[in-house]
Amino acid sequence: MRLKGKVALITGGAAGIGKTTAERFAEEGAIVVICDVSKELGQATVQALGSEHGFYKVDVMDRKMVQEWVDDVAEKHGRIDVLVNNAGIVRDATLVKFKDGELVKQMSEADFDLVIAVNLKGVFNCTQAVVPYMIRQGGGVILNATSVVGLDGNFGQTNYVASKAGVIGMTKAWARELGRYDIRVNAVAPGPTATSMVASMLPKIVDRFRESIPLGRLGQPREIANVYLFLASDEASFVSGAVLRVDGGLVVGT
């Protein structure tokens, strides 16, 4: 019961790594409040967790909606101990695509802006809403979902890489700014993980991922959730400003 009595907020908590993290936190005694854009999946997740947990339909791009969510949770539970900024999307494309000397396709401005808005601005919105409550109560934990591609780059993911690299930068900045308030800020950088996002990729791309991982397999959501659990717990009481890779020893090819 490493999180017994703690109130934990998880964005994008209705599916994938977010859902599994919610399950692990609940198993360890936390009161878990998730948000997601999918009402159906979110309600199903919380129903499985138990009546003491909660779900809100929230778009992390919407600053007003985020603030109302955070304020309501703080009013109901009296505190917010952990925030996991997990919500994220992909809209993959190469920067430009040429054929026979002609430009035939490129990443759209709309897709670039959308990924930045969700994956980067969304983390900013949620953290800025939560931190005043943590300061007033004397501490807390912020955990941000980045990715190995935020460290290493990746073909065809300019927008996603930029967003995840930005999350790493914000993590380090906030660890410096908020440490004086006993708020720890860390990031988790998963490698290829067996989620619906990876399942939607072409099989040859997934096979390429698998071949580049020395452990010879994709990660499982529970393996990522266990790292979030450690960082959220008092066992990680002197860990802040870290970016922890959870990638099976991934070796990035060219």
pLDDT digits (tens, 9 = 90+) for 224-251: 999 999 999 999 999 999 999 999 999 8
Average pLDDT over residues 19-32: 98
In this prediction, residue 198 carries a pLDDT of: 74
Q: pLDDT tens digits for 77-100?
A: 999 999 999 999 999 999 999 999
Q: Which CATH number fits domain 7-245: 3.90.190.10, 1.10.8.80, 3.30.2090.10, 3.40.50.720?
A: 3.40.50.720
Q: Where are the domains of the chain?
A: 7-245
Distance CA 87, CA 18 (A): 8
Average pLDDT, the chain: 95
Whether the per-residue pLDDT at 71 is higher than 90: the answer is yes
**What is residue 57's three-state secondary structure?**
strand
Mean pLDDT across the stretch 106-114?
Answer: 98
Residue 201 has pLDDT above 80, yes or no: no
Tokens describing residue 176: 């410096």
Beta bridge partners of 84: 10, 143
Question: What pLDDT, on a 0 to 100 scale, did the predictor assign at position 199?
Answer: 73
Tell me the pLDDT tens digit for each residue of 156-167. 999 999 999 999
Can 228 be counted among the known catalytic residues?
Answer: no
CA 219 to chain centroid: 15
Closest CA to 112 of 160, 151, 73: 160
**H or E element, residue 45:** helix 39-49
Which residue among 56, 133, 160, 228 is the active-site one?
A: 160
Q: Could you give the CA distance from residue 175 to residue 240 in angstroms, rounded to a whole number?
A: 6
pLDDT of residue 254: 44
Amino acid, res. 199:
A
Q: Is 136 exposed, middle or buried (0-12, 13-18, 19+ CB in 10 A)?
A: exposed
Residues 6+ apart with CB under 8 A from 16: 193, 195, 196, 197, 221
pLDDT top residue among 203 and 32: 32
Quote the pTM value. 0.95
24 neighbors 222 (Cβ within 8 angstroms):
yes
What value does the mean pLDDT take over residues 122-137?
98
Phi/psi region, residue 202 (left: phi>0; alpha: psi -120 to 50; beta: rest), is beta
What backbone torsions phi and psi does residue 128 show, to the nearest 5 degrees? Answer: -65, -30
Between 173 and 198, the higher pLDDT residue = 173
